[in-house]
Amino acid sequence: KIVLQTVSQGSLDASKDLQKEFAIIEKKREELADYLCEDRKKMSLEDIFSTMKTFRELFLKALQ
């Protein structure tokens, strides 16, 4: 019973930590959407990563 309680508590703690990380990611996504003058509600993480990839590719091309 003690082992099960320990595992359960560990799972709850991990879940809470994960929820905090997701909240941080969501806040950063909203900040980046604002910075890029995009709609917070419509800009997904996929959109952000795609924009960053395109920017990187164009930046590297400009350096050449």
State pLDDT tens for residues 35-64.
888 898 888 889 888 988 999 999 999 999
Q: What is the pLDDT of residue 32?
A: 87
- To the nearest whole percent, how much of the chain has pLDDT over 70? 92
Structure tokens that stand for 48 in this block = 């952000």
What is the rounded distance in angstroms from the CA atom of residue 12 to the CA atom of residue 28? 24
Cβ–Cβ < 8 Å for 40, 34: yes
> pLDDT tens digits, residue range 21-43?
999 999 999 998 898 888 988 88
CA triplet 19, 24, 26: central angle to 5 degrees? 90
Mean pLDDT, the chain, rounded, equals: 88
Closest CA to 48 of 24, 29, 34: 29
The residue ranges of every structural domain in the chain are 1-63
Residue 7 pLDDT greater than 80, yes or no: no
DSSP 8-state symbol, 44:
-
